[in-house]
Amino acid sequence: MSTHIAAAPGEIAPIVLFPGDPLRAKWIASEFLTDAVCYSEVRGMLGFTGTWEGHRVSVQGSGMGQPSMSIYANELFESYDVQTIVRVGSCGALTERVGMRDIIIANGACTDSGINRVRFHGLDYAPVADFGLLRAAVEASERMPLESAVHVGLLFSSDQFYSTRPELNDPFVRHGALAVEMETSALYTLAAFHGRRALSICTVSDHLVTHEETTALEREQTFGDMVRIALGAATSV
């Protein structure tokens, strides 16, 4: 048991899918894994281990934002020897190049967060995806019949959902950011620090340019495509 996860040693698989919402973790476990067992309910942040196409896979809720996500990622890497984390999340599109329900495979992440500024003494670090996982996710997506377009590009990991200064997104968009979410920059940094693999795959759930939003049903459907890509990638590297 680690500070925030109640699993015994060995109860968490080397591969972890990492949604923000613990109920999405439960949904993934029941829809995709066989013989799934819940290993932790601490703070309602559910975690499950089961089997997908012969591979042991866990699904752990991360909570929202880089501080919450970092607690779980650190404990998965340090206390449970997790080798691969694939975030499966939602994001808000920042450009009309990206449509509603599109899937973004993040090759890197920029951020307004102070977390990496503290870690790197005020200098800039470029958090990037594990290349093998990234390539495997692209290949998995090409093998599947998908409703949505798939993009590989930059995410902007913000510390604020309700930003009082949305104009601060503009320079990031001007330099290639496709969408905003709240976790990837810190996840990629922690994976690099621990020498493990990480990848973020996000579905566009809302559009900050066109102001469209997805329905709950649409989110469930596109979330399934993203989970299939994540499982295909994580189990093939």
Please name every residue paired with 103 in a beta bridge, in sequence order, or none if there are none.
Answer: 150, 203
Is 206 catalytic? The answer is yes
Near ligand HPA by CB under 6 A: residue from 40, 158, 169, 185: 158
Instruction: Establish if 182 lies at the interface with ligand HPA (CB under 6 A).
Output: yes
Tell me: does residue 131 bind ligand HPA (CB under 6 A): no
Q: Does residue number 206 form part of the binding site for ligand HPA (CB under 6 A)?
A: yes
Does 205 contact ligand HPA by CB under 6 A?
Answer: yes
Interface of this chain with ligand HPA, residues 77 to 106, rule: CB under 6 A: 90-92
CB neighbours of residue 164 within 10 Å: 6
With CB under 6 A as the contact rule, which of the stretches 49-57, 69-77, 180-188, 211-219 interacts with ligand HPA?
180-188
b or e along 50-86 (b: 16 or more beta carbons within 10 Å of the residue's beta carbon)?
A: bebeeeebbbbbbbebbebbbbbbbbbbebbebbbbb
Shortest distance (Å) from residue 205 CB to ligand HPA: 5
Residue 181 interacts with ligand HPA (CB under 6 A): yes or no: yes
DSSP 161: S
Q: Are 203 and 91 in contact (CB under 8 A)?
A: yes
Residues recognised as catalytic: 206
Contacts with ligand HPA by CB under 6 A lie at 90-92, 158, 161, 180-182, 205-206, 208
